[in-house]
């Protein structure tokens, strides 16, 4: 199966082991993960991939950005299935955690990516708070 946003939304809403609030926003999904303190995760798609991302914090909240970036690059391999980046949201830079999958991924793999990204995002938030 090749996923569409509509099909993935329906599957996530039906999936009995997912504890998510799922809403369709434009060409993406917004998931609120109740078991992860209402962490918000967004899912979007291209013609080839599913992207899953969550915002960690504004870059401007970090006292020493270079030190944090160096630390994040050092620990990146300890964050399975996820990457860390900086994106502009409403004209401000934010750290985010993200992952990508094939459109042909199974629902189980998508759920694993969502759950792993959530765990990694919480871990990143702790690391950032310590910086």
pLDDT in tens, 5-45: 999 999 998 877 678 899 999 999 999 999 999 999 999 99
Q: Is the pLDDT of residue 112 over 90?
A: yes
Sequence ranges of the domains in the chain: 5-130
pLDDT of residue 114: 95
pTM for this entry: 0.90
User: Binning pLDDT at 50, 70 and 90, where does residue 84 land?
Assistant: very high
Which residue, 45, 48, 47, is CA-closest to 29?
45
Which CATH number is 5-130 given? 3.30.1460.10
């Amino acid at each position: 199966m090749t996923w569409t946003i509509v099909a993935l939304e329906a599957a996530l809403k039906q999936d009995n082991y997912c504890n998510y609030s799922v809403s369709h926003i434009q060409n993406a999904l917004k998931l609120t993960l109740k078991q992860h303190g209402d962490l918000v995760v967004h899912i979007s798609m291209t013609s080839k991939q599913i992207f899953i991302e969550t915002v960690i914090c504004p870059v401007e909240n970090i006292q020493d950005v270079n030190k944090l970036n160096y630390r994040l690059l050092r620990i990146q391999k300890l964050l399975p299935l996820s990457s860390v980046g900086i994106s502009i949201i409403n004209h401000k830079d934010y750290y985010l955690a993200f992952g990508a999958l094939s459109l042909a991924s199974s629902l189980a793999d998508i759920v694993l990516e969502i759950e792993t990204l959530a765990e990694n995002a919480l871990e990143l938030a702790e690391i950032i708070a310590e910086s």
